Every structure is written in structure tokens, then in C-alpha cells.
Amino acid sequence: MGRATAVRLAEEGQPVRLISRRGLGPDHPGIETRAANASDASALTRLCTEASVLYNCANPSSYARWASQWPPMAAAMLHAAMSSGAVLVTVSNLYGYGPVRRPMTENAPLAATGKKGALRATMWNDALEAHRAGRVRVTEARASDYFGPGFTDMGHMGSRVVPRVLAGQKIRTIGDVDVIHTWTYVEDVARALVVLGRDERAWGRAWHVPSGPARTQRQMVGALADAAGVPAPPVVSIPPWLLRAVGTVVPTVGELEEVRYQFDRPFVMDSSDFSATFGLAATPLDEAARDTVRWWRSRTETGVTVAG
């Protein structure tokens, strides 16, 4: 999300400073890269002194590290925004709502009882409290599961799926493969973040990133296969008992149990409020799937390993 947003801003002629642990970023003349630890409030404050917007696109490297890494990172970025006067735009997800039985809107209560959902809710509530106290301007962009160019995570439509679609290999997924789920295209997240950082109507509340109609995992695999011009491979569900067994020895897999409900029942996000307010619609799935396939194929052609 950070790289995609940085490129979009730089292409508009905006000066961008991209901060990451290793100081890496896109090769673009409008993007300056700097190395810093996102939990180091002093370092972030120095680097954000002249910033007008601070985009929090960070994430711990695994679910198992959320509890230890997220609180200091969130606190550091909130401090940097308050010190610099920058608007704080945070990329978030839907975990804070907890298990739901109807489409999620931004007005839904943050009622999660799981530790990851409760943590995301606390982070937002802390930022919103500071906003209401007049100490900072904040907003939050909530998205569902990602797919698209640059998304190499082991997520549900990332490196565990797209390379296997291109290779005609069986897809193994978590949850019911025929239950509808909202998917968010990464470029739509970047477009939304740019809007939220510069439009004062966005500040002081959370927004759902424009996302297309909910699709099942089988339908998403089919859309990617169609875009690639290949037959859709078989899609099967990993048995819950097997996930639990693996989770006893692999902490990251064990953490999936808390959020497995998102794929056992309809998990639908309503993003109509964002579109009605800012006039931004989700990229059509066929177009997003074509761009996703094109990007993954370009990595294969340049010799980059893509299979997870």
C-alpha cells in the first residue's frame, strides 16, 4: 500500500518521503527513501517535520507479532502526526467489527472480541480521541482482503493463489470456497488514501475503500484464470482440523483460527458512502484481474520467483 500510494502521489508531482525499516522503495525521482523503525517516535517525528500528510501503511510481519509490534508503531505514528501537524491517514481492515451477519458499514460497532480485532479497534479509538481533542487530524481507510499488482503477501489472493492459477495448479484455500467475500484491489486503496489525505471531509471518521461486488474464492480464481487465458484450476478448502493441527507448531497459522469466520460465512463490506462522497468507484474486476495477472507474469519473465 505504501509503495503504490507513494508512486501515485509522485506521479501527481507531490514530493514524497517513503520510510521503511530498510530504506527501500520505488525507483522514482519524486520519491525519497529513508530508513527508520516505525516504532521509534523520535526518528519518525524528525522525518515528518515538514509533512502535510503521514500515511500509516505499516504492518507487523506476522499475526504472531501484532500484540507486541502494533501498539508502539501506532503510538509513534500518532505522536509524529501530532508533532508535525500532518494529517494521519491509517490503512486498516475489517477485523474490528468482529463476526457479522450483514454487510458492514462504517457505522457498525467495533465489537470484535478477538485480540487482533480488539487491537485494531483500540488503535482507531486512540487516534479518534486525539482528533476530537484537537491534537491531530486523523482518518482511517478500511479495506477487505487485498489482491492486485505488487501484492506478494501469502494472503488469500496473493502468492498462495495467483502463481498457482498461472501454473494450472490446485488452489487450497481457507474457509468455504463458495461463500461470498469482499475483495479490495490494491490500486483502489492507493487512490482512496490520496483522497483521504487531502479532503478535509474525510477527517475525523473511518471510510471503507471502494470495493467491487462480493465474490466467492472460486469466482475470484475463475476471474484471474479468465484474465490469464487459462483454464480455472480446482479450488478446495483446507480442513479446519488440519489448520488447527498445523497451528500448534506454526504460530502464524495458529493465529488464523481467530479470523477464520471471515471465510465461513458471507463477509461483505459496503463502500457506497465513500463513492457517494468522493466520486471514486472500485476498479471493475475484469480490469483489476488483467492488471494483476500482467504484473505476476512480468515477475516470472524477469526471473523473479513467484511461487509460494
Q: What is the CATH number of the domain that holds 129?
A: 3.40.50.720
- The answer to whether the beta carbons of residues 230 and 171 sit under 8 Å apart is no
Residue 307 resides in a domain: no
What was the pLDDT predicted at 301?
Answer: 65
Maximum distance among all Cα pairs of the chain, rounded to whole angstroms: 56
As for how many domains the chain has, the answer is 1
Domain of residue 142 covers 2-301
238: in domain: yes
Task: Give me the pLDDT at residue 154, please.
Answer: 65
Domain membership of residue 291 (yes or no) is yes
DSSP string covering 99-165: S-SS-B-TTS-----SHHHHHHHHHHHHHHHHHHTTS-EEEEEE--EEESTT--SSSTTTTTTHHHH
Coil, strand or helix at 50: coil
Give residue 211's pLDDT. Answer: 98
- Residues with pLDDT less than 50, the chain: 305-308
For residue 130, being part of any structural domain is answered with yes
What is the reported pLDDT for 82? 97
pLDDT score of 306: 45
| Residue 174 forms part of a structural domain | yes
- Does residue 306 lie in a domain region? no
pLDDT reported for residue 242: 77
Q: Is residue 218 in some structural domain?
A: yes
| pTM for the model | 0.93
Pairing of strands 16-20, 145-147: unpaired
Q: Is residue 242 part of a domain?
A: yes
